[in-house]
Amino acid sequence: MSSNFYTSTHANYWLLTRSELQNGRETDLKYATHHQLYCLNIFFASLIQKLGKRLLLRQIPIATATVYFRRFYTKNSVCETNPYLVLAACVFVAAKVEETPVHIKSVVAEAKVVFAEHNIKMFPAEPHKLGEMEFYLLEDLDFHLVIFHPYRALVNILGREPADAGRFPKTRVEEDVEVKRVEADERKKREDEARRAGGAGAVAKGLAATLEDGEGESEAERIRRLMGRGSGEGLMEIDEGTLQIAWFTINDTYRTDVPLLYPPYVVALAAVYIAFTLTTMTGSAARTRSSSQVNTLAASLETNTALGLPPPPTTPAEFLASFEVSLPVLFSCVQDIITLYPIWEAFEPSPQRASVNGAAATPGSADTAKFGPEEAEALVRKMIEEHMVDVGHPDDAGKTALAEQTKKRSRS
């Protein structure tokens, strides 16, 4: 299992473009609109969430199952498969991958209950069918099963958990002092060797050579090393409410294409940005220490001062600006996330979601409001039935034979 996102299959194979997603949906778009397919993704994500909860799975396996489902349908079409069987197989595989395995009979039994609540009758309640689907799923996923979720990036960014806990026996100040001491000893050793070799002139040449070779750590390298340890030191303090809103926002992203389009750290920063905009976070509120944060603002200030580094950010704008992330990419991710809420509210009205989203949750038209879970289930059946008709009776049926007969007649 890869511990480095940048060398993982997630980063190298499963960060897709919008055109790739569009190409994977060409067949389904013959039987449904873009808006209907968007709502179907919300519908399927909700079913995965419900099935995962009934199986007592944590959020990470549920999120993994949702990503598997989305990846599978970049290579397949809803109208050509049984999405409910695929959905159950994704939950079954994700539970094993995330080390919370569930018996296949339990998955089938709980899936029957969840689907019955929505009057879904297409699910084959047979364990061997689910086991067979598991192999098709793994093949279409190219056996790339490691998923990097934004949750860990979020707790690291907000200083709740060190990214590299246990790897650094020394503090940043102690490490900096040690590095400077070693560099000073090396410099003194070179000067002594040069002095023994040829006097003052050789010492000057030795110092000049040292400067030309660039030996020792530059200031930029030093700051990058100290600030990139992921220890949680030197970070701005974020209140608990912001963390909770960002966490819930990440949960919602699995109903969109965001996990297929952006790396997890961009999704985490986008969720933090949305959380900042939804809270009345002032400078004083930002300095209110949360009991779950690793380092206090006072400790961060003291550490940075001792290292000669700039103080940690004290406002949300400074905090977000401190990350080397492309702003167009970040705001594109933010836009993809907030686009979800008015569509989701029209599809599955919720008093809680309406109170959070306010006016943004107002549906754009009466037609949009009419499409809900019942219509989504009916649309899935309609898409599959119409595709079967098209396969059995294609538009060009008989045209090939007629063309051949015409050629024979012209020859005779």
DSSP code for 290 = P
Instruction: Encode 139-152: b = buried (16+ Cβ within 10 Å), e = exposed.
Output: ebbeeebebbbbbb
> What's the whole-number mean pLDDT along residues 168-197?
75
| % of the chain with per-residue pLDDT over 70 | 68
CA–chain centroid gap for 111, Å, is 26
CA atoms within 13 A on the CB side of 170: 9
Q: Which domains does the chain have, with CATH numbers?
A: 5-148 (1.10.472.10), 172-227 (no CATH), 236-367 (1.10.472)
What is the C-alpha separation between 88 and 127, in angstroms, rounded? 11
Tell me the one-letter amino acid at 170: K
Q: For residue 1, what pLDDT is reported?
A: 47
> What's the whole-number mean pLDDT along residues 118-131?
91
pLDDT tens-digit map of 373-407: 899 999 999 999 999 988 887 665 445 545 565 66
| pLDDT level of residue 298 (50, 70, 90 thresholds) | low
Q: For residue 102, what pLDDT is reported?
A: 94
What is the C-alpha separation between 250 and 278, in angstroms, rounded? 14
Is 226 in contact with 172 (CB distance < 8 Å)? yes
Radius of gyration over every alpha carbon of the chain, rounded to an integer in angstroms: 29
SS3 state of residue 339 = helix
Task: Report in angstroms the alpha-carbon separations of 207 from 191, 192, 193, 242.
Answer: 7, 11, 11, 52
> Who's near 129: CB < 8 A, 6+ residues apart?
85
